A and B are shown apart, each in its own frame.
Chain A
């Protein structure tokens, strides 16, 4: 998969429906069934249903505090749902998670960060894999603290860590919020390699243009509830989109 990503240097071609060959009969890669989450008395999510199939590129949209990050954390396994259940095809490591704020050790170098997480992931040849991923995401292997990298490079390192375990599903929490246009294009090229090769991505975004350009399906969250769920085509013709413009 890493090498697939490396070969995927060409610009992303917009796609509204997953390729036929990827949508087999093996069922969803990841599924949320009536999932809810509370933090003390605060209700963050209520009865969310979501199916992520091979080749999907699902956009999570909604205003701040709608529950997008909480849903991604639940899908990633970083949080446990307080109601409902999550079903995924693999044992869990096949899900890569790219939090909105880079989850990296700022005083370690990019290479050290990758090697550390590769060893925790029990990746074979962690040093080699770390160097390979740095080449793919085009981040320097120089021994400088990751905290001193530009925000774009930190986000790409964040993505590289999520890709260490060859995930089938990549969860991206507003991944391009701090990137310039060129960095955004490069980021999406890397991210879309996954659905192209039979995986899936789920990304949270505030930019509706990203939904148009990169999503196959949309889930709109409002105050922790699902306000819309469907394809991009349905989304673009629905009234729900008007509330976000």
Chain B
């Protein structure tokens, strides 16, 4: 352990004397992390919107004698948005975590109000007021417009039945009350009959009959007027303080994992190969240091450095979240768990890096090879496992996707224990496999 500490101290000193390398190792992965995180978050999937149905709307709703297929109407209107049905609490958490971009809430009594036609029922839209949130607002406005148009047709048809009832007479019901009306045509006939029966009052009866006729003509034109209006649903828009797209838990997890992966793999590979570059490997391994100690020193230093950089990044993102006014459920108390994840992930990536280091002849080749190998493996980790066959297996064999799972769970899950334990087991297991392979490969370094 003393030898490991001495080697770590020496490597730390060497790193401090290479500020350009250190700066590149820190800045480059962060920039890549942000870019890739954004691409992953929004290019590879439809924006997710939560649908909270507090009214328990059935799949088919009957209004004004016409049936509406709710899912079909929504699907036709917002094809490029993934609508996720959630309960109110889950939707609130998902919106705050940035896992959904908006929440549409259907309140209790919505369908009853629609059927009653006495007042406009309300839909509530909660969204993050960034560019993507505005895009969602536009989509939902389009949805409401479409619903309004279809409902208006139904309402107009229902209202025209009343108009017809007023004109020709008959039995009907409104707001649950039944009634019988004689109709304007019959009223006109009766008024004229009364005028003929009462010559003294005929002018008055004729005047009333004329009014009734004109009213009938006016009602005949009401259909066009009804179709020209109709906005039965009112959309109440309310901005929220959830994470915006840039600060979503998933994007943060990608950013942190990418940062750690780049730093750890490149630095571990380059650092081990540089011992060979400096020609000191033979001197060290002839009894001063055991090969396992040399590998351990690289893994420890790299894991600590990667964790430090990731911690700075996580704190910066946390401050941004706070400045954004996000009421996060786990603002800072998850930081220790994250740091643990940084160390475990850093060590796992570093073991992979040392394996690369044992297979290359000098530090420059090692870092180039590490980059060439690690980059596609990281990108594989970003591909949805269900989209391409075999991707999941390849992704599982590299620490990246497990690191993302760990960080995402630590940042957003209500209870991250299970996900964290599973990811940790993967990271430790992969680290042991890569570390063992690197240890076996150490012989080659002296050849």
Query: What A residues does B447 contact at CB under 8 A?
Result: 39
- B288, A78: Cβ atoms under 8 Å? no
- B282, A120: Cβ atoms under 8 Å? no
B18 within 8 A of A: yes
A85-104 vs B, CB cutoff 8 Å, 1 = contact: the mask equals: 00000001100010101111
User: Of A97, A119, A145, A161, which contacts B286 at CB under 8 A?
Assistant: A97
- B286, A106: Cβ atoms under 8 Å? no
B287 within 8 A of A: yes
Expressed in whole angstroms, the Cα–Cα distance for A102 and B283 within the complex equals 10
**Known contacts A39-B447, A112-B13, A120-B3: does B287 contact A104 (CB below 8 Å)?**
no
Nearest Cβ on chain B to A145's Cβ, whole angstroms:
8
Query: What A residues does B3 contact at CB under 8 A?
Result: 120
Write the chain B residue with the least CB distance to A75.
B286
Name B265-309 residues within 8 Å CB distance of A.
Answer: 278-280, 282-289
A177 within 8 A of B: no
User: Of A76, A78, A119, which contacts B6 at CB under 8 A?
Assistant: A119
Interface size class of A (residues with CB under 8 A): 20 to 34
Name A27-86 residues within 8 Å CB distance of B.
Answer: 39, 73, 76-79
User: Of B278, B282, B287, which contacts A93 at CB under 8 A?
Assistant: B287
Query: What B residues does A117 contact at CB under 8 A?
Result: 283, 288
Query: What B residues does A107 contact at CB under 8 A?
Result: 14, 17-18
- B279, A76: Cβ atoms under 8 Å? no
B22 within 8 A of A: no
Expressed in whole angstroms, the Cα–Cα distance for A83 and B288 within the complex equals 24
- A99, B279: Cβ atoms under 8 Å? yes
Write the chain B residue with the least CB distance to A162.
B283
Nearest Cβ on chain A to B43's Cβ, whole angstroms:
42
Write the chain A residue with the least CB distance to B279.
A103
B11-51 vs A, CB cutoff 8 Å, 1 = contact: the mask equals: 00110011000000000000000000000000000000000
**Known contacts A107-B18, A112-B13: does B286 contact A77 (CB below 8 Å)?**
yes
Query: What A residues does B330 contact at CB under 8 A?
Result: none
**Known contacts A39-B447, A108-B10, A108-B13: does B280 contact A103 (CB below 8 Å)?**
yes
Expressed in whole angstroms, the Cα–Cα distance for A97 and B288 within the complex equals 12
- A105, B289: Cβ atoms under 8 Å? no
Expressed in whole angstroms, the Cα–Cα distance for A77 and B284 within the complex equals 10
User: Of B13, B18, B286, which contacts A76 at CB under 8 A?
Assistant: B286
User: Of A99, A108, A121, which contacts B14 at CB under 8 A?
Assistant: A108
The winner among B3, B278, B285, B446 for most chain A CB atoms within 10 A is B278
**Known contacts A99-B282, A103-B278: does B287 contact A77 (CB below 8 Å)?**
yes
A116 within 8 A of B: yes
**Known contacts A105-B10, A120-B3: does B280 contact A97 (CB below 8 Å)?**
no
- B284, A105: Cβ atoms under 8 Å? no
- A76, B284: Cβ atoms under 8 Å? no
**Known contacts A107-B17, A108-B10, A120-B288: does B282 contact A73 (CB below 8 Å)?**
yes
- A99, B283: Cβ atoms under 8 Å? yes
Write the chain A residue with the least CB distance to B6.
A119
9 further contact pairs, Cβ within 8 A, besides A78-B282, A97-B283 = A73-B282, A79-B282, A92-B287, A93-B287, A103-B283, A104-B280, A105-B10, A120-B289, A161-B283
Identify the B interface with A (CB < 8 A): 3, 6, 10, 13-14, 17-18, 278-280, 282-289, 446-447
- Return the 8 tightest CB-CB contacts between A and B, nearest first: A78-B282, A77-B286, A78-B286, A103-B279, A120-B288, A103-B283, A103-B280, A107-B17
List 28 A-B pairs, Cβ < 8 Å.
A39-B447, A76-B282, A76-B286, A77-B286, A77-B287, A78-B285, A79-B282, A92-B286, A97-B282, A97-B283, A97-B286, A99-B282, A99-B283, A103-B279, A103-B280, A103-B283, A104-B280, A105-B14, A105-B280, A106-B278, A108-B10, A108-B13, A108-B14, A116-B10, A117-B288, A120-B6, A121-B288, A161-B283
